[in-house]
Amino acid sequence: MAPKHRVMIDTDPGVDDILALLLALSAKPSELIVELISVTFGNVPVQTCLGNVVSLFHQIEKEMAWRKGRGKPEGFEMLKVVKPLVAVGADGPLADQLVMADYFHGRDGLGGISESHPHFSPTEAWRGLFEREGGGEVAGDVGMVEEMEKTGRSLFTPVRESAADAILRLLRENEKDSITIVAIGPLTNLAIAAARDTETFLRAKDVVVMGGALSFPGNVTPVAEFNTYADSIAAARIYALTNRFPRTTMPVVPPTKDGEMASGHLGPYPDKLSRRLRVTLFPLDITTTHWLRRGIYNTTIAPLVTANSPLATWTNAFLTSTFNKMESLHQGHTGDQTGLSLHDPLCIWYLLTLSHPTYAITLSEPQDLRVETSGQWTRGMYVLDKRDRFRKVISDEDMVEESGEEIGDAGRWLDGKSGNGVFVAVGSAGREVIGSEILRRILEC
């Protein structure tokens, strides 16, 4: 039976990224297949993020063996069907100043467990499988590969190409509209891929993005969410692909001498796209209120930790510190009601419940959403036109040529041709059940 969804997950693991990956990898093969995990910088440096992905597969492999030894279903059936590719990508933003979220996620992205629980980390041998020498070959030897077989490599396939090239190759090799990209970190890898081959990138069925804040406060500045703030230019470039004439909403490129490209900035897209990229956005407005509560978590995890479940023990090490961090940083988080917002897992939940009669998430009509990339205080801010002005309605068939800016419409917000068209997740009935359902799926309990 063909899967309902084939996905590539672009990620910067991070606590909630790991939960999102676990939710995806524990899906039934008929529900979802993970073709690629592309790793980017974000919460912590990209090599640390990559190490967390390797650790994840290491713990899944140990968990499957533990369950089998006790006569329990192994779970993670999808990983018996496909070994997801893992590719490493950008180590910093296109042009923005590099920022990290290690104040929340810890220096290793997982609450500092590499120091508090070093036995959970695989050996450093895995790094060689992703390193390239001058000729493009991977550094390493047979002994290193044998070592990797002991640390979860049997469940994934490391690739030598960059994340951007891996994304483009899979889109090129598969039917148009057959693969969805789930982006739960800064959008740098996606922006690089789209700049290298725009038409191939437009073959994606959907780009599901966790990022930004509309009417909700930001989580890294008063107006900006971390993923967008970390590379606001990349986000602006991706959203511009939802515009048939992307030049009108592209970020401003600083002027340079002799027509050279500004440092860190990518080249322009074609003047007119063959079609709009579909982007489905999950901003803080909806993700923040989908909770994993500490009380439910402790009740679920305790017997599994007592029974020495490798996966429960590993996740407990970083989730306990995360609950403590939430309690120390945020008002209203005490005791069993302390909650971890499931920002990134909600993007996977959306795909898994797309046709669910109760939990399916509702989307807005396409919104002309734009990203501020140059403001001193507003970098990464999402801008919507909330004025009570009439806006022209023009079908894609009528978009023969770009219109010029009209007097009284600075920024071309009203002409019907020039704006972005981003679908925004706005409604959900799963706010208080998603936490327990994710635990049930991941831990087979």
The string of DSSP codes covering 59-112 is: HHHHHHHHHHHTT-----GGGGT---EEEE--SS-SSSPP---HHHH-TTSSTT
Mean pLDDT confidence for 239-257: 87
Helical axes 188-196 vs 232-240, angle rounded to 10°:
50
Domains and CATH numbers, the chain: 5-252+266-289+343-394+411-443 (3.90.245.10)
Amino acid identity of 314? W
Does the pLDDT value for residue 326 go beyond 90?
A: no
How far, in Å, CA of 427 to CA of 158, rounded? 37
On whether the CB atoms of residues 60 and 155 are closer than 8 A, the answer is yes
Provide the pLDDT for residue 400.
52
CA 135/CA 360 separation, integer angstroms: 48
Q: Which residues contact 231 (CB under 8 A, 6 or more apart)?
A: 93, 94, 96, 186, 187, 188, 191
Task: State residue 97's pLDDT score.
Answer: 85
* Distance (Å, whole) CA 230 – CA 218: 13
Task: Report the chain's C-alpha Rg in angstroms.
Answer: 22
Residue 109: per-residue pLDDT: 67
Higher pLDDT, 306 or 432: 306
Place of tokens 């120390």: 328
The tokens for 345 are 């897992």
The region, left, alpha or beta by phi > 0 then psi within -120 to 50, assigned to residue 10 is: beta
CA distance 404 to 418: 9
Is residue 368 within 8 A of residue 413, CB to CB? The reply is yes
50-59 pLDDT, tens per residue? 999 999 999 9
Q: What is the identity of the amino acid at 343?
A: H
Omega cis (within 30) before 380:
no
**Region 401-424 average pLDDT:** 78
Residues 6+ apart with CB under 8 A from 430: 290, 349, 353, 358, 359, 361, 437
State the Cα–Cα distance between residues 180 and 170, nearest whole angstrom.
Answer: 11
DSSP-derived 3-state class of residue 255: coil
342-398 pLDDT per residue, tens: 999 999 999 999 999 999 999 999 999 999 998 899 999 999 999 888 777 766 655
The H or E element spanning position 363 is strand 362-363
The percent of residues above 90 in pLDDT, for the chain, comes to 69
Per-residue pLDDT of 146-160, as tens digits, reads: 555 555 558 999 999
Contact 428, 354 (CB under 8 A): no
Looking at residue 137, its pLDDT comes to 36
Relative to beta strand 382-383, strand 339-341 is unpaired
Beta bridge partners of 400: none
Cβ–Cβ contacts within 10 Å for residue 433, how many? 15
Residues 253, 163, 32, CA angle at the centre, nearest 5°? 120
Nearest CA among 274, 204, 279 for reference residue 240: 279
At 20-47, the pLDDT tens digits run 999 999 999 999 999 999 999 998 999 9
- CB proximity list for 410: less than 8 A, separation 6 or greater: none
Beta bridge partners of 50: none
In the 8-state DSSP scheme, what is residue 253?
Answer: P
pLDDT, average across residues 434-438: 96
Write down the number of H helices and E strands in the chain.
15, 13
Could you give the CA distance from residue 415 to residue 423 in angstroms, rounded to a whole number?
Answer: 19
Which pLDDT belongs to residue 123?
60
Contact 192, 186 (CB under 8 A): no
91 contacts: CB under 8 Å, gap ≥ 6: 41, 45, 46, 47
User: What was the pLDDT predicted at 255?
Assistant: 61
Rounded distance between C-alpha atoms, residue 41 and residue 91, angstroms: 5
pLDDT, residue 337, reads: 87
Instruction: Find out whether 301 and 312 touch, Cβ atoms under 8 Å.
Output: yes
Tens of pLDDT, residue by residue over 286-317, are 999 999 999 999 999 999 999 999 999 999 99
Residue 292, beta-bridge partner list: 340
**In whole numbers, what is the pLDDT of the chain averaged over residues?**
88
Q: pLDDT tier at 327 (50, 70, 90 boundaries)?
A: confident
- Please write the tens of the pLDDT for every residue from 86-137: 999 999 999 988 887 665 656 676 866 755 566 566 666 666 677 765 544 3
| The pLDDT of residue 121 | 64
**Residue 257, pLDDT score:** 58
Cβ atoms of 11 and 59 closer than 8 Å: no
Q: CA nearest 244: which of 266, 275, 270?
A: 275
CB distance 201 to 271 below 8 Å: no
